[in-house]
């Protein structure tokens, strides 16, 4: 179970779902994400929320997305539009009970990628993790790139050049980054998306703070 779920979600409430989305960019072949994201969602739904929740979400999906939700191949590439369809179905099924459900979806992905949990803050490990995210960005998404900037209070992550985007996906990124901070022992963790492709900014910038 993610630390974000254990603490009852983000302290400032769920990430915003405002803005517009583009599910397929000019070149559909680049609008792809790695199957590991679908595997993480399946794991989260079945283990943390229960098989009944998993099947009720899956039953709402289109046939192709349903197939891949049931049997995700971690190393395969799938359409960005499919991960958004999946997350929207998760939100619809779960947001009454968990208003911050999309943050939890992202947190579950971070949980799978960070096996060791630090009891007290390890800044160096946390920065190294964030820098690895940037270096290996292309292993998870075929589009865009990520720059990490250190700040006095934490870090700033700039996701650039996205031909496809959705507030639904940005909300799960928010939870992913929050969980990354928590697992590295950060206290008073906060993540705010200050700029977003969905609001016309040409970049998604997340401000990370911790102590």
In this chain, which stretch among 35-43, 46-54, 123-131, 163-171 interacts with Zn ion, using CB under 5 A?
Answer: 163-171
Helix/strand/coil for 171: helix
Q: Which of 200, 183, 179 has the alpha carbon at shortest distance from 191? A: 179
CB of 84 or CB of 170, closer to Zn ion: 170
Q: Is 156:174 a contact under the CB 8 Å cutoff?
A: no
Nearer to Zn ion, 51 or 147 (CB): 147
Q: Which two tokens stand for residue 128?
A: 């190294």
Number of residues that bind Zn ion (CB under 5 A): 3
Per-residue binder mask for Zn ion (CB under 5 A), 49-88, x = binder:
----------------------------------------
* The one among 4, 33, 155, 196 contacting Zn ion by CB under 5 A: 196
Alpha helices in the chain (DSSP H): 3-6, 36-44, 51-58, 63-70, 80-94, 101-113, 123-135, 137-140, 167-183
Contact window for Zn ion (CB under 5 A) among 26-34, 55-63, 133-141, 191-199: 191-199
Q: Rounded to an integer, what distance in angstroms lies between the CA atom of residue 44 and that of residue 105?
A: 7
DSSP 188: S
Can you tell me which of 49, 170, 177, 178 binds Zn ion, judged by CB under 5 A? 170
In the complex, least distance from residue 110 CB atom to Zn ion, rounded to whole angstroms:
17
User: What is the contact surface with Zn ion in residues (CB under 5 A)?
Assistant: 170, 196, 204
């Amino acid at each position: 179970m993610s630390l974000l779920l254990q603490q009852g979600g983000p302290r400032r409430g769920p990430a915003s779902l405002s803005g517009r989305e583009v599910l397929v960019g000019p070149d559909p072949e680049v609008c792809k994400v790695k199957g590991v994201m679908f595997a993480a969602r399946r794991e989260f739904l079945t283990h943390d929320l229960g098989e009944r929740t998993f099947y009720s979400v899956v039953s709402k999906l289109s046939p192709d997305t349903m197939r891949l939700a049931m049997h995700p191949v971690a190393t395969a590439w799938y359409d960005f539009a499919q991960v958004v369809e999946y997350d929207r179905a998760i939100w619809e099924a779960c947001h009454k009970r968990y208003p911050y459900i999309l943050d939890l979806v992202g947190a579950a992905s971070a949980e799978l990628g960070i096996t060791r949990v630090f009891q007290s803050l390890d800044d160096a490990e946390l920065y190294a993790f964030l820098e690895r995210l940037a270096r290996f960005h292309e292993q998870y998404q075929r589009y865009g790139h990520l720059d990490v900037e250190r700040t006095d209070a934490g870090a700033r992550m700039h996701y650039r050049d996205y031909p496809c985007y959705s507030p639904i996906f940005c909300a799960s990124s928010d939870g992913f980054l929050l969980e990354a901070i928590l697992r590295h022992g950060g206290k008073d963790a906060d993540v705010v998306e200050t700029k977003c492709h969905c609001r016309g900014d040409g970049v998604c910038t997340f401000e990370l703070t911790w102590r």
